[in-house]
Amino acid sequence: MTCYDVLVAGGGPAGAAAALTLARAGRSVLLAHSGRGPAPVGEALPAAARVLLGDLGADDALTDGHLPCLANRSAWGGPRLASTDSVFDPHGHGWHLDRVRFDRQLRAHARTQGARLATGVTAQPNGRTADGSWVVELRGAGERRTVRCRWLIDATGRRAALATACGARRRTGDRLVALHLTLGPADPADPDTTTTVEAAPDGWWYTAPLPTGRRLLVWYTDADLPAADPGRPAFAARLAATRHILELAARHPWPAGAAPRRAPAHTARLADPTGDGWIAAGDAAAAFDPLSSQGILTALYTGLAAGRAVHARLVGQADALDAYRADLAAIGATYLRNHRTHYAAEQRWPDHPFWRRRHPPPGGGGHPTLVAIPGPSPHMPG
């Protein structure tokens, strides 16, 4: 039975960052990438990611196949569209990612540094040996095999599959859901290179161009509200009521017969992101409101930090996990302050359930479980 220092479950940015960090530190690593579920759609990556990618030794992950994001625009707190240009960002411009390509590039970097990659498999812990090693079953298409490892890193996304299997408790803070649709290529090519956010009575819209020439269109609302109807007629009617998003979407054809797909976007976190022999990173540790536009940035950061924490623990640094937990707690506290401020800036529909839930009552309240990388968001006003 093959034995590794660490098994990382999840081949997205968090898992790849953790595997890359550990492999560069000389650890034997198996990165288990299931490749299941719908392919990730495009996403904007802030310019600050240059620093993290440099720390990971993956500076060239953005050199090919991605579209520069030159400005972030928002109609928030009023109908006027405000813009923040990348020329004012010390790190330069951000990117509209080809997510499939980006994730694949990061996994390739991890392999180059010595990590083993198992694709098309899921990891299922099946107990531990007398010396504390994990026994993990890898299941794929017609394949089952067992490996051992000293540590597990859960980067399986919001499911937190390994952590919850180990008894971790998952907490949620809201009911946010995303209804997303990818529009066809514009003819002629759409010149827009921005991300655009527009608040509405029962939620908010997000749109951005994709490197393929297509356009991503997303409606965010709460899953229990009538506005969460995923039907194409309801989606189109809400879009028609927008002032700025409709103008951008109108440049692109709707795929024949296509309807919006629904995806979870709610706030969630583990009560404790670490345990005996395991640690969680990315959305498995903490997932938060997409308004911050820092999901991938957080995934890269927590993957890097989790990898460093596990390596430090393996060399005998007893407080390595305490430092990781404290880091995530500080990140959460900073984000909570920003989140309250940014949602409070939109006061046009105070009696609508979506906004009322996000406006804390006098004296406090709000969303105590939100977690994200600290710092101002390009999509949040202020």
Strand partners, 279: 153, 274
Q: Of 155, 150, 97, give the one whose Cα is nearest residue 311.
A: 150
Distances (CA, A) of 374 to 194, 279, 295: 22, 21, 12
Residue with tokens 């907490």: 171
Instruction: Label each residue of the chain as H, E or C.
Output: CCEEEEEEECCCHHHHHHHHHHHHCCCCEEEEECCCCCCCCCCEECCCHHHHHHHHCCHHHHCCCCEEECEEEEECCCCCCEEEEHHHCCCCCEEECCHHHHHHHHHHHHHHCCCEEEECEEEEEEEECCCCCEEEEEEECCEEEEEEEEEEEECCHHHCHHHHHCCCCEEECCCEEEEEEEECCCCCCCCCCEEEEEEECCEEEEEEECCCCCEEEEEEEECCCHHHCCCHHHHHHHHHCCCCHHHHHCCCCCCCCCCCEEEECCCEEECCCEECCEEECHHHCEECCHHHCCHHHHHHHHHHHHHHHHHHHHCCCCCHHHHHHHHHHHHHHHHHHHHHHHHHCCCCCCCCHHHHCCCCCCCCCCCCCCCCCCCCCCCCCC
pLDDT digit string (tens) for 244-253? 999 999 999 9
Domain boundaries, the chain: 3-69+96-173+266-328, 176-264
**Structure tokens of 180?**
């997303």
Residue 369 has a pLDDT of 36
- What's the whole-number average pLDDT of the chain? 90
Chain centre distance of CA 344: 23
**35-49, 84-98, 307-321: least confidently modelled range:** 35-49
User: Distance between CA 239 and CA 258 in Å, rounded?
Assistant: 15
Residue 39 has a pLDDT of 67
Name the pLDDT band for 7 (thresholds 50, 70, 90): very high
Looking at per-residue pLDDT, the higher value among 86 and 355 belongs to: 355
Side chain identity, residue 119: T
Strand partners, 83: 73
The two beta strands, 278-280 and 143-154, are parallel
pLDDT of 74 above 50 = yes
Mean pLDDT within 64-92: 90
pLDDT of 4 above 90 = yes
Q: Of 15, 49, 43, give the one whose Cα is nearest residue 29.
A: 15
Name the pLDDT band for 367 (thresholds 50, 70, 90): very low
CB-CB contact of 36 with 12 (8 Å): no
CATH number for 3-69+96-173+266-328: choose from 3.60.40.10, 3.50.50.60, 3.20.20.70, 3.40.50.2300.
Answer: 3.50.50.60
Q: Of 18, 5, 48, give the one whose Cα is nearest residue 273.
A: 18
How many Cα atoms are found within 13 Å in the side-chain-facing hemisphere of 370? 26
Do 3-69+96-173+266-328 and 176-264 fold alike per CATH? no
CATH number for 176-264: choose from 3.90.320, 3.30.1120, 1.20.950, 3.30.70.
Answer: 3.30.70
How large a percentage of the chain has pLDDT more than 70? 93
CB-CB contact of 181 with 217 (8 Å): yes
pLDDT digit string (tens) for 85-117? 887 788 889 999 999 999 999 999 999 999 999
Residue with tokens 């640094």: 317
Residue 363 has a pLDDT of 57
**Structure tokens of 291?**
């308004």
Residue 152 has a pLDDT of 98
**27-36, 123-132, 200-209, 366-375: least confidently modelled range:** 366-375
CB-CB contact of 238 with 260 (8 Å): no
pLDDT of 289 above 70 = yes
pLDDT of 370 above 60 = no
Strand partners, 95: 45, 68
Name the pLDDT band for 323 (thresholds 50, 70, 90): very high
**6-20, 80-94, 139-153: least confidently modelled range:** 80-94
Q: Of 52, 64, 53, give the one whose Cα is nearest residue 98.
A: 64
Q: Of 210, 205, 179, 186, give the one whose Cα is nearest residue 100.
A: 210
Side chain identity, residue 107: R
Residue 257 has a pLDDT of 87
Chain centre distance of CA 198: 20
pLDDT of 362 above 70 = no
